[in-house]
Amino acid sequence: VFPITFTQTDDKCGSAAEHAKELSDQVANVKDQTGQNKVNIVGHSKGGLDARMYLANNTQDVANLIMIGTPNAGSPLAENNDICAPAVYDLKPGAPDTKVKENQDTQYYTIAGDWNPDAGNCDLSLFSPLQQGGYNSLPKPNDGMVPVSSVESLEYSDSLGHSKSCHSNLLSEYEYGLA
């Protein structure tokens, strides 16, 4: 397992296009360290969009992309929002990174959050109030930030299942088991 941190561009607020360029170097590094021809990428939220941008360059380096809570068709919460720009622009419905083409050499998978605030599963999050508001305003089902319909919008991806956690808690043992 090689966690990815973007150091050349802003990790939290960098654009998908810039992250995709940096991801190219990091994938090459992982391949060198492991001696493997291909890697598997697991991307949470915008990390899935960053990986899709990377894959649109016709790389043959990625066997599987698992996208967890990735707004593949964007999130309505980003429409009138400039927080964390330019990253938020990549999250808007219709953004260029939501429309990139499929890489024929990669299998695509999704895991979506189908959260209900009354059930909990978001206690550890600093984003709980934001996700509560998102849950109420987004099409249901959703994870408080991204509708399930957006996560599962790619015709060429297969769903690995749904989690009962909110968006910021979609990286638990449960999601690991689905992946």
Residue 98: both structure tokens together: 């939501």
Q: What integer pLDDT is reported at residue 71 of this predicted model?
A: 97
Q: What integer pLDDT is reported at residue 50 of this predicted model?
A: 94
Query: 24-33, 114-123, 147-156: which range is least confident on average?
Result: 114-123
Q: Is it the case that residue 161 has pLDDT exceeding 70? A: yes
Residue 162: both structure tokens together: 């749904």
Q: Are strands 107-113 and 39-44 parallel, antiparallel or unpaired?
A: unpaired
Q: What integer pLDDT is reported at residue 154 of this predicted model?
A: 97
Q: Give the confidence band of 32 by pLDDT, cuts at 50, 70, 90.
A: very high
Nearest Cα to Cα of residue 69 among 1, 155, 153: 153
Mean pLDDT of the chain: 90
Q: Is it the case that residue 9 has pLDDT exceeding 70? A: no
Query: 12-26, 82-96, 102-116, 122-136: which range is least confident on average?
Result: 122-136
Residue 45: both structure tokens together: 């939220």
Q: Give the confidence band of 125 by pLDDT, cuts at 50, 70, 90.
A: low
Q: Which strand (E) or helix (H) includes residue 21?
A: helix 16-34
Q: What integer pLDDT is reported at residue 124 of this predicted model?
A: 58
Number of H helices, E strands in the chain: 6, 4
Q: Is it the case that residue 4 has pLDDT exceeding 80? A: no
* Residues near 108 by beta carbon (within 8 Å), at least 6 away in sequence: 64, 65, 67, 102, 154, 156, 157, 158
- The size of the chain, in residues, is 179
Q: What integer pLDDT is reported at residue 84 of this predicted model?
A: 85
Nearest Cα to Cα of residue 19 among 54, 69, 45: 54
